[in-house]
Chain A
């Protein structure tokens, strides 16, 4: 029977591969495949297979035995948390996820329950092997690629079996009357007890945390590295001695083959890790749990999620649908673009409700007040200000990629948008507003906290500069967000088949290549768009600084820059609007 299941698996894979090869006839995929192939070669493969003399073990990469132990401990800790979550979060009965077609063909077929479990395990191996290949390419910069791949395989396979086994155990517990909440309380209590033991031990036996190193981070050449070093030193001491060493022991066994410095060390580490894997396999295969009914339900949910993804609702595809309250009441009259903002804010989900923002503000104020009374407040504020600066930079870089409640989400419903009695620029503006609003709200909060922290940081007390910088950030950030969001939205309209919209996107090396080309293009466009504003800012900044000082130069130059950016954004929205009006979805979105 298993041969039929293997046949299904093999041919599904083969047909998928053929489909991908066939689409290379289209130039856009061929160019993408070439660029993607070059990227993978230069960034991953040549480090793994083709460069002689680079075959170095982890030990020769500069990791001392203590650091190796820290990495092992952190890896074990990550696994511990992952496993803990697998016991804490899920609440459903055991369900092996099959597609609807698999349910229709396999469940009525004369296949034993154990046969179905084996099919599921074989299928999960395909996914695991691809993940192993990917992770090996990413993480193997020196060292033995095969050892690393085997290490990743052991970790991922054991985790996969553990998730399955824990879902079976959960079902057995539910059948015996142990509710989800009782199980969660017991496991959480155990986890808190273990964490408490580690904390008490650390407080009693470890030397005090070195606050002065953290406070000097702002003055260091690389502040982020200094903060990281300080924290990692402390973590290394806590995790590599005392009770944490023993609590994490089974998880260390699983991480060791991956971190083995050479072949003998790998072979020694392999035995216990393989034993763990086999124990998990036996646990899963010999658990006689009825999973069919829950699996049918899960497959239906999966089908709904796929349908939602195909209909353009990526968020709906990711999780269970729930009606969400709007952030504000939408009046029936007024600028129609606000309707799109309102709609997309609802789409952004409960993560961005007024209540959440209120909680963040209260937490921030409490942190501010609490740290203000601390003996090391100046040091902590310095560190936090650096951290906020880094996060703000990252929010500009990655925020527009993360928040996609715009044309990238709605393009599959472009026919609906085009039927509305709205100008193109109104639709484009409305579509851009939600991600801008979310990003700006988050950035303004960071700026407010950052300015507050900066005012109390060492050496910055009573200076007006923090307020000037905060003012500049407050007026420039929304415009920069708009400019950054205009670019991918323009790309969606100009090259719709190159951008992943709400539909389930294609996958493969060629798609990676397409994304690389687009990313470079977007960076180039942003740099060019920023140039006039940057020139205006620099000229005004230096002139005003000479005449009136730094604290006046920053806000005044920022206001002028904001005007230039505003003009650019306005022009961009109008152009994009015309592009949307001319967008022929019968041509652009045809398969």
Chain B
């Protein structure tokens, strides 16, 4: 569903993503984790066709993104950490606009279902400025799911959500995967990644440290796999020496 081979992105001399290769199959949720500046967002933006990779091949549902961007983009949805909305369009107008862009016939019924599911039914005529951050995120999700994408990227999906919103978002991601979507979730929240992801890819300085199932990663970075949490594995994998299992202690108060 998502195939990435040798993805490289340079900003001048700076290597943001370096020879990244992986694949995500239908029904899988891949967690993309790494410290700040590891290249997670750049990777997702390349995968969404927003920025061109310097090198490498990206295939979405068999369509090569560089050669047939339209066919590839029809299959995907990208949810950024900060919802990107048009400030002058109401909730309903956002959905009408998205339907036309993605040519979704009879979208009204689906839009109503999505708004009900996301508890936005009473906000149809509200502008983004009148919505809370969580509601904005829900609106972005409703717009992105309107065309039933087969490939979905989430960049920090839980930012700004309340506890109920977090649970719903988590359930929604799992449900989309069960329905057959291939999903990539980029997040710093390792417990979320641990809960919902079938696979994990750890990035550091644009390079892939490791990718595989949680168990495979635990085996690679922990002496006692049963006890190790993803957090422990993460610090081990991304530390400079590769040896310290825990973050540096906090200074005394």
Contacts and interface: CB of A to CB of B under 8 A. Distances in A.
A40 B73 CA distance: 49
A347 B89 CA distance: 8
Contacts of A342: 97, 100
B49 A332 contact: no
Nearest to A336: B101
Interface in A311-347: 311-313, 315-316, 321-324, 326, 330-334, 336, 338-339, 342-343, 346-347
B166 interface: no
Given A308-B87, A321-B87, A333 B129 contact: no
Contact of B89 (A333, A346, A418): A346
Contacts of A324: 88
Contacts of A321: 87-88, 127, 129-130
A585 B69 contact: no
Contact of B88 (A315, A336, A582, A585): A315
A313 B87 contact: yes
A415 interface: yes
Contacts of A519: none
Interface stretch (B104-112, B205-213, B228-236, B244-252): B104-112
A590 B73 CA distance: 24
A430 to B, nearest CB: 10
Of listed B50, B70, B74, B76, residue having the most chain A CB within 10 A: B50
Given A332-B96, A413-B86, A418 B101 contact: no
B51 interface: yes
B127 A323 contact: yes
Contacts of A334: 100
B45 A316 contact: no
Contacts of A333: 100, 103, 105
Interface stretch (A232-240, A419-427, A481-489): A419-427
A332 to B, nearest CB: 4
B174 interface: no
A195 interface: no
Given A415-B50, A422-B70, A586-B11, A316 B88 contact: yes
Given A332-B105, A416-B84, A421 B74 contact: yes
Contacts of B72: 421
Contacts of B154: none
A585 B51 contact: yes
Contact of B11 (A311, A326, A338, A590): A590
A293 interface: no
Interface residues of A, number: 41
Contacts of A590: 11
Contact of A336 (B49, B69, B100, B125): B100
B49 A419 contact: yes
B148 interface: no
A313 B127 CA distance: 13
A343 B97 contact: yes
A229 interface: no
B73 to A, nearest CB: 4
Contacts of B78: 419
Nearest to A418: B50
Nearest to B125: A323
Contacts, number: 103
A582 B66 CA distance: 11
B21 interface: no
Contacts of A582: 52
Given A586-B42, A586-B45, A586-B51, A336 B86 contact: no
B69 A421 contact: yes
B11 A421 contact: no
Nearest to A412: B84
Interface string B105-149: 111000000000000000001110110000000000000000000
A365 interface: no
A263 interface: no
B45 A415 contact: yes
Interface in B68-93: 69-74, 76, 78, 80, 84, 86-90, 93
B100 A332 contact: yes
Contacts of B127: 321-323
Contacts of B100: 330-334, 336, 338-339, 342
A235 B127 CA distance: 47
A583 to B, nearest CB: 9
A419 B96 contact: no
A304 interface: yes
A422 B49 CA distance: 11
B97 A419 contact: no
A481 to B, nearest CB: 22
Give the interface centre of B49, B69, B97, B101 by most chain A CB atoms within 10 Å.
Answer: B101
A83 to B, nearest CB: 32
Nearest to A331: B100
B102 to A, nearest CB: 7
Contact of B87 (A311, A419, A584, A587): A311
A330 B96 contact: yes
Nearest to B140: A416
A421 B50 CA distance: 11
A332 B103 contact: yes
A332 B88 contact: no
B12 to A, nearest CB: 8
A422 B50 CA distance: 12
Contact of B86 (A323, A343, A587): A343
A336 B103 contact: yes
Nearest to B86: A343
Contacts of A308: 87, 129
Interface string A87-110: 000000000000000000000000
B97 A413 contact: no
B181 interface: no
A311 B136 CA distance: 14
Contacts of A422: 70, 101
B99 interface: yes
Given A321-B130, A323-B125, A584-B52, A347 B101 contact: no
Contacts of A347: 86, 88
A323 B130 CA distance: 10
B48 interface: yes
Interface in B46-76: 48-52, 69-74, 76
A420 B88 contact: no
A489 B51 CA distance: 20
B93 A413 contact: no
Nearest to A415: B50
Nearest to B94: A343
B136 to A, nearest CB: 11
Given A321-B87, A339-B97, A339-B100, 5 more contacts: A304-B129, A313-B88, A321-B129, A415-B50, A584-B51
16 contacts: A308-B129, A315-B88, A324-B88, A336-B103, A339-B97, A339-B101, A343-B86, A349-B88, A413-B84, A415-B80, A415-B84, A419-B50, A419-B73, A420-B102, A421-B102, A584-B51
Name the 9 nearest CB pairs between A and B, nearest first: A313-B87, A339-B100, A421-B73, A332-B99, A586-B51, A316-B87, A421-B74, A321-B129, A347-B88
